[in-house]
Amino acid sequence: MIRILVLLVLTLQLSHTAAQTDDERQIKAFYDLSLSEGKAYDWLNYLSNQIGGRLSGSVQAEQAVSYTKTQLDSLGLDKVWLQPVMVPKWVRGTPEFAYLESKPGYTSNVPICALGGSVATPPGGTKAQLIEVNSLEDLESLGREKIQGRIVFFNRPMDPKLLNTFQAYSGAVDQRSRGAAEAAKYGAVGVIVRSMNLRLDDYPHTGSTNYGDLPEKDRIPAAAISTNGAEFLSTTLKLDPNIQFFFKLNCKQLPDVQSYNVIGEIRGSTKPDEIMVVGGHLDSWDLGDGAHDDGAGCVQSMEVLRILKMSGYKPKRTIRVVLFMNEENGLRGGRKYASEADLNKEKHVFALESDAGGFTPRGFSFDSSESDFNTLSGWQSLLEPYQSAHFTRGGGGADIGPLKKPGMVLAGLRPDSQRYFAHHHAQNDTFEHVNKRELELGAAAMTSLIYLADKYELGTAQ
Amino acid sequence: MIRILVLLVLTLQLSHTAAQTDDERQIKAFYDLSLSEGKAYDWLNYLSNQIGGRLSGSVQAEQAVSYTKTQLDSLGLDKVWLQPVMVPKWVRGTPEFAYLESKPGYTSNVPICALGGSVATPPGGTKAQLIEVNSLEDLESLGREKIQGRIVFFNRPMDPKLLNTFQAYSGAVDQRSRGAAEAAKYGAVGVIVRSMNLRLDDYPHTGSTNYGDLPEKDRIPAAAISTNGAEFLSTTLKLDPNIQFFFKLNCKQLPDVQSYNVIGEIRGSTKPDEIMVVGGHLDSWDLGDGAHDDGAGCVQSMEVLRILKMSGYKPKRTIRVVLFMNEENGLRGGRKYASEADLNKEKHVFALESDAGGFTPRGFSFDSSESDFNTLSGWQSLLEPYQSAHFTRGGGGADIGPLKKPGMVLAGLRPDSQRYFAHHHAQNDTFEHVNKRELELGAAAMTSLIYLADKYELGTAQ
């Protein structure tokens, strides 16, 4: 019996080693292709520098749809198409303008930008005293008496002690996403929010603010101020609490317009009905060129299919790249894709999103069953040589979220997060801040994960 | 017996857990201090932007000595001093100039820079036909006949498929370090070397070239060309092998001058005679401001002692920060420090260098005994929460190399290497390419390692 067990263990180990070796070889080939014949960086150059910021409903967003569709068409995929989706169209209008006024005529300009979705100020701007707070809870303790007629200045910084900057972001972003809605309830006339940025610099960072069910007439204008500006404001307020703040926003919400998700697929050789998605979002904010958020994720996802084709690997399942429209201010693309999948009774088994910047990949986070996570953990050693083997449980990504069903696995690429919020939603989210090799390493890690999930049939459909 | 064993195991596990918890707490405190009250970035700002490139023997190198000494003086260390060392003084002179000439009057400029240590061209420059090669070995197979009177163009790129870019550098840098000496033996009149850079861009990257024992009269001028320039040269040569290349270098080797290593220490509380060094090199090349190479390593090393002081931890051993002079073109500082240590019969047990850029730390490499490496591996779990737990065997750093004796442990910080060679020795090795948090994470990882090596008395002296 012992002898049989030993033999069995040896056999298992041998077959394991053989399988490992095939996988190791295949993954090495993906990395070699990505690092020496990659196309992601060129695509990103075009998206960033020839097209630019791609806010939903903008000319640039439509150019990006057309460009990426053309590029996918050139890859020899089995099918490439556009999936129509109606998207909100919010426009920034005339550049924003703000200053502090210590006494009439004595003013200092500060760099601000409207938060996405904000209403405009009255045409002549809004001028009022400021009240500085650190949290939404502060509003309640201050009460209407102290807030009425004022501009609320939310100034809680992201926590620098948190290693994962996305945690630091989560811990501060309620000021941006709900500050205006909450402050309006206490009679505030406007909201200024410290930018979601761990650096001290002069770039204001935009991002959505959400009024919830607040009636339109009660909505108040909301803007982000750069971190340096926030420090200046706070210091000045301590010296003179009666200082006046002026700001002017010209932004507008227009009627929804037609846009598209861009989709391409390699049809599965033996299980074409099982669909695996890899994607990012094609829209971006309008201040920078959206290179990290999320041009990087889009070109990496396109690159996954290109590398699979070049490598000669024939997936069993259907591998689909989806470039989602409107993640930033509506998630309409993600919702539309999921509802169409339902309508068409498509069986999605796995989805991977890259939407955390084009930095050196450290690993992936997974939204999966315990047992699928155990399977995934068994693959870590394959990514360890590439130092991208940090696997955690967590979300996949906003756009693929609506696809989630029991049995399905969602995954998110997790790049090094230290630099991300220095660029996120700001004027300096630009191509020159993306490193070619870091971008390519992400594409290679994603290809490797898609390959393993296909080969070992991770995830099931309901 | 089983019961006793179980008890023993439980006891061991408990004491292990308690010790771990103390270490975890201490390391968390180091990270918190570094990320929220760090000084490294401010120091680096001064070194880079107020002082600038710090080539040995330059005014800036002396300013850096004076500045860092003053800063160490302010930290309340037990002793701060300058250690005199004579250093070579090589100066670049008038900016370099080069062009391709397809026929008289038809020229295209290309960006070059003299390699450190190169001799000048004749005052009127050097003009000759080019011969492109990929390796030192190519020289032998071509022979004197094909090389005599020509400029040898070394154009082997760094291998993009190697994940660790330092490996790619090692695989290509012989062209720069020995190309001129070798080509001279075959009668070449000059050498142009493709920059050690994985990116395609317009920056030439300098770095030492070494003539070995070649008599002065036989030495030929050597320059680096940007990677874009190298591609252009190579393409043009294919179209017209008879093209002429002109370049003019005005650099000079002057007599050695006085400089200093900058040293500060916290005296050990119980084992003051056991010395642990943490350091980087204060000199840099002259093209950029030396922010990554190696301003980052210097300020991180200073920060280690500052964090230890702030945290209240009292090291048993003497912890010494050493800012070495002249790593780039002589290693005189490292050699001098080691020879003085010998003369003074100092017992060095551990040395850590940071000289691979101020990027997100991934771990450390160690030059140590097998058993010390096992001890070190036991500490990896303490750095895993900070994703800096990639421990490998390998070198520590050039400056601490001369200190090495049996029993001693040398360590090197290993940051993410993807971006490093885009800046290394070039005009764009500048402060704005260093991220504050990444720099601080390195300092915190280094402090943690120094703490553990002190507390658990890693390394022995002969």
Structure-block tokens of residue A241: 């609490």
Yes or no, beta carbons of A387 and B362 under 8 Å apart: yes
Query: pLDDT at position B20, please?
Result: 61
Give the CA angle between residues B319, B264, B403 to the nearest 5°: 60
CB B253 within 8 A of CB B198: no
- Whole-Å CA distances, A282 to A327, A340, B433: 8, 19, 27
Please check whether residues A84 and A151 belong to one and the same domain. no
d(CA A220, CA A121): 8
- Specify if B460 maps to a domain: no
Residues A295 and A411 in one domain: yes
Size of the A and B interface in Cβ pairs below 8 Å: 56
**Residue A77 is assigned to a structural domain of this protein:** yes
Which range marks the domain in which residue A138 is found? 93-250
| pLDDT on residue A105 | 86
Q: CA of A33 to nearest chain B CA: how many angstroms apart?
A: 8
Instruction: Report which DSSP code applies to B433.
Output: G
Instruction: For residues A320 and A442, state if they share a domain.
Output: yes
Determine the Cα–Cα distance for residues A168 and A159; give it in Å rounded to an integer: 5
In a domain, A14, yes or no: no
Written as six digits, the tokens of B422 are 């885009």
Q: Is B438 near chain A, with CB under 8 Å?
A: yes
Would the CB atoms of A387 and B435 count as touching at under 8 Å?
Answer: no
Per-residue pLDDT, B8: 45
**Residue A12: inside a domain, yes or no?**
no
Q: Are strands B271-281 and B112-114 parallel, antiparallel or unpaired?
A: unpaired
* Residue-wise DSSP of B361-423: EEEEEEE--HHHHHHHHTTHHHHGGGT--EEEES---TTTGGG--TT-EEEEEEE--TTGGGT
CA distance B185 to B181: 7
Give the domain CATH number at A361: 3.40.630.10
Measured CA to CA, the distance from residue A93 to residue B166 in angstroms comes to 48
Partners of B438 on chain A (C-beta within 8 Å) are 418-419
A163 contacts in chain B (CB < 8 Å): 31, 385-387, 441
Give the closest residue to A451 by CA, choosing from A92, A75, A39, A23.
A23
Q: How high is the pLDDT of residue B103?
A: 87
Which SS3 state, helix, strand or coil, does residue B34 take? Answer: helix
Residue of B nearest to A198 (CA): B437
Q: Between B35, B416, B436, which is nearest A161 by CB?
A: B35
Consecutive 10-residue averages of pLDDT for chain A (462 residues): 46 50 96 98 98 98 98 98 98 96 92 98 97 98 98 98 98 98 98 98 98 96 98 97 97 98 98 98 98 98 98 98 98 98 98 98 98 97 96 96 97 98 98 98 98 97 76
Last residue of a domain, one of A205, A224, A250: A250
Q: Which pTM value belongs to this model?
A: 0.94
User: Is the same domain home to B420 and B388?
Assistant: yes
Indicate if B101 belongs to the active site: no
In angstroms, the CA B397 to CA B435 distance is 22
Which tokens is B98 given?
């080069």
- Tell whether B68 and B188 lie within a shared domain: no
Work out whether the CA dihedral A220, A226, A227, A233 comes out positive or negative.
Answer: negative
Handedness of CA B135, B140, B143, B149 (dihedral sign): positive
Tell me which chain B residues have a C-beta less than 8 angstroms from the C-beta of A199.
436
Q: Are residue A240 and residue A262 in the same domain, yes or no?
A: no
Q: pLDDT below 70 — which residues of chain B? A: 1-20
Q: Which of B250, B274, B302 is the last residue of a domain?
A: B250
Diameter of chain A measured on Cα atoms: 95
CB A318 within 8 A of CB A278: no
Q: How far apart are CA B76 and CA B87, in angstroms?
A: 29
Instruction: For residue A42, give both structure tokens.
Output: 């060129």
Do B308 and B357 belong to one domain? yes
| Within a domain: A21 | no
The catalytically annotated residue of A96, A182, A327, A328 is A327
CATH number for the domain that contains residue B101: 3.50.30.30
How distant is the Cα of B197 from the closest Cα of chain A, in angstroms?
12
Q: Which residue among B182, B265, B274, B327 is the active-site one?
A: B327
Considering only the beta carbons, identify the residue of A36, A165, A418 that sits closest to B161.
A36
Distant-in-sequence, close-in-space partners of A68: CB < 8 Å, separation ≥ 6: A43, A47, A262, A282, A298, A302, A323
- Please indicate if any CB of chain A lies within 8 Å of the CB of B198: yes
Query: Do B169 and B295 fall into the same domain?
Result: no
Q: Mutating which of B35, B197, B439, B440 best tests the A interface, going by the most A Cβ atoms within 10 A? A: B35
Query: Which tokens go with B446?
Result: 């280094």
Looking at the structure, do residues B219 and B98 belong to the same domain, yes or no? yes
Boundary residue ending a domain (B204, B223, B250):
B250
Beta strands in B147-228 (DSSP E): 151-154, 190-194, 222-225
Q: What are the helix and strand counts (H, E) for chain B?
A: 12, 16
A181 vs A214: CA distance, rounded Å: 7
- Same domain as A245, residue A171: yes
Angle, helices B436-455 vs B2-37, to 10°: value is: 140
Q: Could A418 and B360 be called an inter-chain contact, meaning their C-beta atoms sit closer than 8 Å?
A: yes
> Would A13 be classed as within a structural domain?
no
Flag whether B2 is in a domain: no
Residue B19 lies in a domain: no
**What pLDDT score does A17 carry?**
52
Q: Does A36 touch chain B (CB under 8 A)?
A: yes
* One domain, residues A297 and A332: yes
Number of domains in chain A: 2
Are the beta carbons of B92 and B56 closer than 8 angstroms? no
* B369 and B446 inside one domain: yes
Judging contacts by C-beta atoms under 8 Å, the chain A residues touching residue B161 are 31-32, 35-36
